[in-house]
Amino acid sequence: MTDQKQLADWICLDAEFAEGVEMLELAVMSGDGRMIYTQRFRPATLRRWRSYPHGITPEMVENEPLFAECRQEIQSIIDAASHVIGFAVAENDLRKLRQEGIHTDESLGIVEIRDWFWLTHGLENGLDYRQNVGLNTCCRELGIDIDESKEHSAAYDTECTLRAFTGLLQRYADKRGMANASIEEIERRFAEEFAVEKDRYDRANGAGYCCIIRHGDGLYQMKFTKEPPAYHPDIIASVAVANRKKAMVRFSQMLTGKILYGNFRFERLSKRRLEEFKAYTDSYEADDEQFNSKLLRLAGKFR
C-alpha cells in the first residue's frame, strides 16, 4: 500500500473533554494527511473542570462556540467518511460524539489502532492485548518521535495517531507481501487475521480454574485463577473451565443466590452442590463472554 491517496475518504480524529463528559476540542484529519477540522468548544453546562491532561481552561474557551453550533459541519464530515481511525475510537470518541447529537451510520468502518498495533507489532513482541497501550507507547514502540509538550492537543494527537496508523498499515502490508495491494484488500486480510488471533487470545485468557477452599471461620471461598491452583490442604475441590466469567456467574448464583464478581465467600456447601461443582463443564463462546462480562460489570457496581 504505497499510495496514501487511497485513504482520502478515511478520517482520523481525536477529542478532548471536560471531566470526560462535555467536548472541549475536536480535530479531524483526512487519511491522506490533510487537517480538515479543528475547533475548541465552550461547554454547555460545565463552568469549571480539571485541565489535566489537555491543559484547556475555562478562560481559554469562554469565547468559543458551543458544540451544538458546529454540529451540522461536523456531521457533514462524518457523513462523508468511509472509515474513522483512532484509539478506543468507538467506545470513547464516537460514543461521546453521538451523545452530542452526531449520527454515525452502521456502514462507517472503525479502525482501532490498538488492534492494528497488537496484531502487527505487539503479538510478536510479547505485548498483551489488554495491556494499557496508548498513543505514546504505540509511537515509542514504532520509533515515532513524540513532542511531549504538545501531547493531548487534539490536533497533535490526531496527527500522531494517523502517523502511527500509516506506519502500521505499511508494516502489515510489507510483512504479508501486500505492498502493492489496495487498501480494501489489506483491510479485508487484516480483519480476517485479527479475528482468528483475537479469538485464540480470548479463549486462552478466558480459560482457567475454579476451586472451593475451606476457611477456619466456618466459611468457604470460591476462587478463580488462570493458572492451576497450587496444592493446599484446605482446597476441597477444583475444576478446569473454558470460561472463568461464565463460571463466576454460574457458581455465585448457585452458592449465594446472586451474581458476584471475582472471588467470593459463602456459608453452606451441601453434598449435592459439591457434586454439581465437580461435574461442571462449559465451553467458550464469544457471545457468552460478552454477555457474562456485562453481567459481572453490573454486579461489581452494586457489590
> Residue 210 pLDDT more than 90?
yes
Q: Give the pLDDT confidence score for residue 132 in this predicted structure.
A: 73
Q: In the predicted model, what is the mean pLDDT of residues 143-170? A: 89
* Percentage of the residues of the chain whose pLDDT score is greater than 70: 98
Average pLDDT over the chain, rounded to whole?
92
> Residue 175 pLDDT more than 60?
yes
Q: Is residue 227 within 8 Å of 212, Cβ to Cβ?
A: no
Say how far apart CA 260 and CA 295 lie, in whole Å. Answer: 9
Residue type, 271: K
pLDDT tens digit sequence for 220-275: 999 999 999 999 999 999 999 999 999 999 999 999 999 999 999 999 999 999 99
Say how far apart CA 246 and CA 226 lie, in whole Å. Answer: 14
Find the Cα–Cα–Cα–Cα dihedral 95, 98, 100, 103, rounded to 10°: 160
pLDDT grade, residue 302 (50/70/90)?
low
Q: Which pTM value belongs to this model?
A: 0.84
- Specify the higher pLDDT residue, 1 or 16: 16
Q: In the predicted model, what is the mean pLDDT of residues 67-77? A: 97
Q: In the predicted model, what is the mean pLDDT of residues 112-134? A: 88
How large is the angle between the packed helices 154-175 and 183-206, nearest 10 degrees? Answer: 90
